């Protein structure tokens, strides 16, 4: 496979190329080489090549990166061969089935990593956040979507994390939260806790570590204990603050 003999690919692509090269039969290698040639002449050919990849490259598990199959790796190779201004991952996602959508979600970190800082990368990361949010509702795609979250930049990362919270995904399953220590994200998560209380819903225990960083949000929740707010709002505020105390007590033990 022509791509497999290349070196220096970004975002861990060298390992993926090598594993894919070892998994493809001769026919699959020829097809992928031809597909890459077609794309170099006509990037728009991706709309026909992308869905045909599974049939031509197979879906065998790779011996290299865990959790990857040959069709996912080959689709990632095709996407990474496109010029940045011709990337249309959302369009391919909407048209594709589960296998194609999995491949796009897995390719996102590689696509973002190879894109230079600037408007193009910001736009791509924003599209990635939208795709992650859309995938969280599908049990077959949600685990793959979670794997793509940490590759997102800035505002896109915050949007994806909030989408996880809204979808009921435990924050412990979201990569990079503690390492990135994003103050804006902490405030948005704290505000989410306040909104849950106002709506009469329970606050997930793991959100309290973010509320702790913003005393003003905590005061807003405590203010709901006053006689003015509806009874349900006062009840949920009492539950929320009680659970917060329980969380703090657990940490001291």
- pLDDT tens, 163-191? 999 898 988 888 888 788 678 888 888 88
**Both tokens assigned to 200:** 């009469």
Q: What was the pLDDT predicted at 245?
A: 54
Same domain flag for 168 and 246: no
User: For residue 24, how far is the Cα from the chain centroid?
Assistant: 28
| Same domain (yes/no): 172, 188 | no
85 and 4 together in one domain: yes
> pLDDT digits over 208-217, tens only?
777 777 777 7
63 shares its domain with 90: yes
* Domain co-membership, 104 together with 123: no
**What is the count of structural domains for the chain?**
3
Same domain, 122 and 148: yes
Instruction: State whether 2 and 110 are in the same domain.
Output: yes
pTM tops 0.85: no
- Residue 230: burial class (beta carbons within 10 Å; 0-12, 13-18, 19+): exposed
Answer yes or no: do 191 and 132 share one domain: no
* Same domain flag for 3 and 44: yes
Averaged pLDDT score across all residues of the chain: 83
Residues 56 and 15 in one domain: yes
Full domain range(s) for residue 97: 1-114
Residues 94 and 36 in one domain: yes
The predicted pLDDT at position 71 comes to: 97
Query: Quick one: 105 and 134 in the same domain?
Result: no
Instruction: Pick the most confident of 17-21, 104-108, 246-250.
Output: 104-108
């Amino acid at each position: 496979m022509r791509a497999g003999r290349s070196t220096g690919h970004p975002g861990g692509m060298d390992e993926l190329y090598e594993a894919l090269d070892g998994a493809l039969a001769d026919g699959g290698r020829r097809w992928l080489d031809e597909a890459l040639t077609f794309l170099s002449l006509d990037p728009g050919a991706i709309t026909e090549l992308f869905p045909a990849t599974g049939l031509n490259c197979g879906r065998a598990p790779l011996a290299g990166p865990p959790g990857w199959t040959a069709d996912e790796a080959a689709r990632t190779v095709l996407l990474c061969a496109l010029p940045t201004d011709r990337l249309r991952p959302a369009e391919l996602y909407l048209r594709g089935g589960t296998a194609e959508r999995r491949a796009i979600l897995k390719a996102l970190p590689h696509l973002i990593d190879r894109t230079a800082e600037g408007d193009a990368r910001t736009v791509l990361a924003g599209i990635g956040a939208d795709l992650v949010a859309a995938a969280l509702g599908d049990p077959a795609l949600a685990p793959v979507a979670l794997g793509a979250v940490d590759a997102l930049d800035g505002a896109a990362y915050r949007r994806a994390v909030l989408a996880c919270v809204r979808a009921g995904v435990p924050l412990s399953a979201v990569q990079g939260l503690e390492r990135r220590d994003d103050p804006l994200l902490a405030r948005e998560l704290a505000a989410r806790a306040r909104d849950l209380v106002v709506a009469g819903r329970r606050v997930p225990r793991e959100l309290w570590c973010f509320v702790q960083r913003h005393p003003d949000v905590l005061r807003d929740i405590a203010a709901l204990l006053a006689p003015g707010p509806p009874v349900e709002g006062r009840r949920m505020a009492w539950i929320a603050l009680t659970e917060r105390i329980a969380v703090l007590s657990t940490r001291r033990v």
